[in-house]
């Protein structure tokens, strides 16, 4: 097995586990910062790895890296870890979601997806086989199956068609993945089948029957882990939580359960409570660049005039390096002056908040206090800033 996973503690559906990769151990539930184009925007890798954040795994986007700098460059530089200078674990997505969310799709066929690059408008084609080949060059510890990501409000019939396509693509993904690993074995004499894990993705829109069927048939293909895809894509929040609540506990208990692209601090806690182990989301980095800080008492918009001479840290309960050193007044000034440091500091704090929240979640589950933690955390989040 390329990865190992053990659940060490459980409180109702909430699980605390250990995911072991060739590049280190990852305690779950875990939040994975998103390194879209080879960089978690606005932060240096040293800081991601230092004790203040201690991110154990980050996400790289296959779609972005495939278009730029391209696979030949990354191959010439020895794979994604070497290229970007990050020696801890990584997960790459399959490109399916980005193609859907960023590009003008020309045609979805049985073979794959034809679309226009968001960078230069050129015509591109992505398929399970191409995605696996790209992800094999990237060389992350965890690769994702190539899927179709339908919109959140998709009707039952269309959702079934899309789910069936995703299932056929999942089989092709797995076959291509194993051929690539075996081919690499023949070429290098090493055992790369041990090096990468492949996760399957459960689709089915907002239709529970389809979601259950997608889970069952994806599990039959047998992956190293399973992800819930196509959530937080326009459906109502209660719909998302209902799907997670129904599906997550049915996902194989001995494999990591990954909720893709989600979400707010509340979403993380509520999804952990429903049995999810892994998360990724651009919220802490993107919102940081837009002047928003996540705090224990909810969101803080640094542009607000009330912070002009506020010498308190972004979050009075936070002990990250930003909150120890800098005031709301200073960060507000930086933001209004267009200083890059505003984005840098807000990004760092937001990642600290997300990663620290997950540390507290794990601690709570281990000590059987998760229900209490969840209640208090949620109450405080909605209590508002002083």
Q: Which residues are catalytic?
A: 93, 280
Binding string, residues 83-102; x marks residues near a second copy by CB under 8 A: xxx-----------------
CB of residue 344 to a second copy, shortest distance in Å: 6
Measure the N-to-C terminal CA separation of the chain; round to a whole number of Å.
50
Query: If binding is defined by CB under 8 A, does position 350 make contact with a second copy?
Result: no
CA 253 to chain centre: 20
Query: If binding is defined by CB under 8 A, does position 343 make contact with a second copy?
Result: yes
- Residue 113's SS3 state is strand
* Residue among 74 and 198 whose Cβ is closer to a second copy: 74
Query: If binding is defined by CB under 8 A, does position 344 make contact with a second copy?
Result: yes
What is the rounded distance in angstroms from the CA atom of residue 381 to the CA atom of residue 4?
Answer: 34
Q: Report the candidate in 261, 250, 321 with the shortest Cα–Cα distance to residue 47.
A: 321
Considering only residues 7, 9, 41, 266, which one is a binding residue for a second copy as defined by CB under 8 A? 41
CB of residue 30 to a second copy, shortest distance in Å: 23
What is the rounded distance in angstroms from the CA atom of residue 214 to the CA atom of residue 166?
Answer: 9
What is the rounded distance in angstroms from the CA atom of residue 218 to the CA atom of residue 148?
Answer: 14
- Enter the tokens of residue 234: 């326009």
The answer to whether 215 touches 199, Cβ cutoff 8 Å, is no
Query: If binding is defined by CB under 8 A, does position 309 make contact with a second copy?
Result: yes
Considering only residues 27, 69, 193, 212, which one is a binding residue for a second copy as defined by CB under 8 A? 69
What is the rounded distance in angstroms from the CA atom of residue 138 to the CA atom of residue 290?
Answer: 30
What is the rounded distance in angstroms from the CA atom of residue 69 to the CA atom of residue 158?
Answer: 35
Which segment (110-118, 150-158, 329-337, 364-372) binds a second copy by CB under 8 A?
Answer: 329-337
Query: If binding is defined by CB under 8 A, does position 337 make contact with a second copy?
Result: yes
The answer to whether 3 touches 21, Cβ cutoff 8 Å, is yes
Query: If binding is defined by CB under 8 A, does position 44 make contact with a second copy?
Result: yes
Q: Report the candidate in 269, 217, 207 with the shortest Cα–Cα distance to residue 242.
A: 207
* Residue among 1 and 337 whose Cβ is closer to a second copy: 337
H/E segment holding residue 294 = strand 292-295
Query: If binding is defined by CB under 8 A, does position 46 make contact with a second copy?
Result: yes
What is the rounded distance in angstroms from the CA atom of residue 9 to the CA atom of residue 18?
Answer: 10
Query: If binding is defined by CB under 8 A, does position 23 make contact with a second copy?
Result: no
Pairing of strands 142-144, 123-126: unpaired
Compute and round to an integer the Cα radius of gyration of the chain. 21
Considering only residues 6, 24, 25, 78, which one is a binding residue for a second copy as defined by CB under 8 A? 78
CB of residue 359 to a second copy, shortest distance in Å: 22
Considering only residues 250, 286, 297, 333, which one is a binding residue for a second copy as defined by CB under 8 A? 333
Query: If binding is defined by CB under 8 A, does position 38 make contact with a second copy?
Result: yes
CB of residue 141 to a second copy, shortest distance in Å: 20
Residue-by-residue DSSP string for 28-79? ESEEE-EETTSS-TT--HHHHHSTTT---EEEE-HHHHHHTT-HHHHHHTTH
Query: If binding is defined by CB under 8 A, does position 282 make contact with a second copy?
Result: no
Query: If binding is defined by CB under 8 A, does position 304 make contact with a second copy?
Result: no
Considering only residues 39, 161, 232, 301, which one is a binding residue for a second copy as defined by CB under 8 A? 39
The answer to whether 344 touches 42, Cβ cutoff 8 Å, is yes
Q: Report the candidate in 2, 219, 171, 8 with the shortest Cα–Cα distance to residue 91.
A: 2
What is the rounded distance in angstroms from the CA atom of residue 259 to the CA atom of residue 342?
Answer: 30
Query: If binding is defined by CB under 8 A, does position 42 make contact with a second copy?
Result: yes
Number of residues that bind a second copy (CB under 8 A): 40
Query: If binding is defined by CB under 8 A, does position 139 make contact with a second copy?
Result: no
CB of residue 64 to a second copy, shortest distance in Å: 8
CB of residue 208 to a second copy, shortest distance in Å: 40
CB of residue 39 to a second copy, shortest distance in Å: 4
Residues that bind a second copy (CB under 8 A): 37-39, 41-46, 64, 68-69, 72-73, 76-78, 82-85, 308-309, 311, 321, 325-327, 329-330, 333-334, 336-337, 339-341, 343-345
């Amino acid at each position: 097995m390329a990865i190992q996973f053990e659940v060490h503690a459980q409180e109702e559906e909430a699980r605390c586990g250990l995911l072991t990769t060739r590049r280190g151990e990852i305690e779950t539930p875990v939040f994975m910062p998103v390194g879209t184009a080879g960089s978690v925007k606005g932060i240096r890798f040293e800081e991601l790895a230092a004790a203040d954040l201690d991110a154990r795994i980050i996400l790289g986007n296959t779609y972005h890296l495939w278009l730029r700098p391209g696979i030949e460059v990354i191959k010439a530089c020895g794979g994604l870890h070497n290229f970007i200078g990050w020696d801890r674990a990584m997960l790459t997505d399959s490109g399916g979601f980005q193609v859907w969310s960023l590009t003008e799709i020309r045609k979805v066929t049985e073979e794959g997806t034809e679309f226009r690059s968001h960078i230069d408008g050129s015509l591109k084609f992505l398929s399970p086989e191409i995605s696996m080949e790209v992800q094999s060059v990237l060389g992350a510890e965890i690769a994702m199956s190539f899927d179709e990501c339908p919109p959140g409000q998709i009707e039952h019939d269309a959702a079934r068609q899309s789910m069936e396509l995703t299932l056929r693509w999942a089989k092709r993904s797995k076959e291509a993945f194993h051929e690539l690993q075996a081919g690499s074995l023949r070429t290098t004499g090493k055992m790369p089948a041990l090096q990468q894990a492949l996760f399957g993705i459960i689709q089915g829109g907002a239709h529970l029957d389809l979601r259950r069927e997608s889970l069952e048939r994806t599990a039959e293909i047998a992956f190293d882990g399973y992800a819930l895809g196509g959530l937080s894509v326009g459906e109502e929040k209660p719909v998302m939580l209902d799907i997670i609540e129904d599906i997550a506990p049915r996902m194989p208990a001995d494999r990591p359960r990954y909720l893709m692209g989600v979400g707010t601090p509340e979403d993380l806690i509520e999804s952990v409570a429903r049995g999810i182990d892994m998360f990724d989301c651009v919220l802490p980095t993107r919102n940081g660049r837009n002047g928003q800080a996540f705090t224990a008492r909810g969101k803080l918009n640094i542009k607000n005039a009330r912070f002009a001479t506020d010498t308190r840290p972004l979050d009075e309960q936070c002990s990250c390096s930003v909150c120890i050193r800098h005031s709301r007044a200073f960060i507000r000034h930086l933001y209004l002056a267009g200083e890059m440091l505003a984005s840098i500091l807000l990004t760092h704090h937001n990642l600290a908040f997300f990663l620290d929240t997950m540390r507290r979640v794990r601690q709570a589950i281990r000590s059987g206090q998760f229900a209490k933690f969840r209640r208090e955390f949620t109450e405080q989040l909605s209590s508002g800033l002083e």
